[in-house]
Amino acid sequence: MTVRLDRPAERVEAQELGRTLADRRGGTWYLFVVPALAFYALVVLYPTVAGAWYAFTDWTGRNVAPNFVGLANFAELFSSPPARTALWNTLVIAAATTVIQTVVGLALALALHSALVTRNLLRTVFFAPALLPPVVIGFLWRYTLTPAGPLNDALRELGLGGLAQNWLGDGDIALASVIGVIIWQHAGLTMVIYLAGLEGVPAEVLEAAAIDGASWWQRLRYVTIPLLIPATTVAMSLTLISGLKLFDQVFVMTGGGPGYATETLSVIMYKEAFVSGRYGYAAAIALVLTMIVFAFAFLQLRALRRFEVEA
């Protein structure tokens, strides 16, 4: 007896139904795509293009027809001492936070990726600051670091009064204090990224290395760290971009002071736009900052990707 598995009539009907559904979807796709594209163009593309244009004008927010000034805004940016200081501070913050936060986050992840009974509690404690708004962190530490604040009081109680400082009012240490606060807040995020990466390190590889006589440091250097390059790429990229764009903590804690000791490009951009009303100059600062972020992010990703391939 022969059983026919092929049913031409049913296959033709299914094909016709498929074409009908495809035609129906093909005729209405634009109803979903066009509104999304229009919204994106309105809130992203237009402001971006307009901002780039205003960077070459003397727009103050009040003059309807701003004058084209060419590269004058950019020339002022790179010749003005406050702007050059802000650029230098921005680069210092980005470099310091990227390096130190990566090291601290990795150290925390290695310490808490163990059979420690309280590891989950400690992970929560270290990660909690990253969940708080930057403005809240700024106000908290601005109070803590005042000359009569809790930090100096604690130092005096411990007999270390000689270490008490005007942490945010002394131009020599204000920038370092701000960097310390940033690392304190975000090291937990880097820790979580590395903890996720450590879950992907094969335990049998580490065990084999230990059997072969590799020390803890050798296993870390030649096995664990190379396998954590993807996590390092993510952690360092996020930290670098965040450091270059930093605004909230600096503005709340010091306002860029004392003097220009903690001024960053984001802070000076805000002041030029909303205090001085020089929107054209502020747009030029924003354009330069955007180019710096893209350039550094591209170079860093390229370098780290090369390490990934080699690893």
Q: Distance between CA atoms of 43 and 52, rounded to whole angstroms?
A: 15
Yes or no: say if 252 and 142 are a contact pair by the CB < 8 Å rule: yes
In this predicted structure, what is the pLDDT of residue 236?
93
The candidate with the shortest Cα–Cα distance to 191, out of 81, 104, 95, 118, is 104
Whole-Å CA distances, 304 to 235, 253, 297, 309: 11, 33, 10, 9
In this predicted structure, what is the pLDDT of residue 16?
56
No. of helices (H) and no. of strands (E), the chain: 15, 0
Q: Distance between CA atoms of 247 and 286, rounded to whole angstroms?
A: 12
Which CATH number is 76-306 given? 1.10.3720.10
- pLDDT of the chain, 311 residues: tens digit per residue: 454 545 555 555 555 555 554 555 555 777 788 888 999 999 989 988 988 999 999 998 887 788 999 999 999 999 999 999 999 999 999 999 999 999 999 999 999 988 778 888 999 999 999 999 999 999 999 999 999 999 999 999 999 989 999 999 999 999 999 999 999 999 999 999 999 999 988 889 888 988 888 898 999 999 999 999 999 999 999 999 999 999 999 999 999 999 999 999 999 999 999 999 999 999 999 999 999 999 988 888 888 777 765 55
In this predicted structure, what is the pLDDT of residue 139?
96
Q: How many CB atoms lie within 10 A of CB 180?
A: 17
Q: Distance between CA atoms of 286 and 78, rounded to whole angstroms?
A: 13
Output the CA torsion 284→285→289→295 (10° steps): 40
The candidate with the shortest Cα–Cα distance to 279, out of 47, 45, 51, is 51
Q: Distance between CA atoms of 41 and 228, rounded to whole angstroms?
A: 38
Residue 144, helix vs strand vs coil:
helix
Q: Domain spans of the chain?
A: 8-55, 76-306
Greatest Cα pair distance, the chain, in angstroms, is: 101
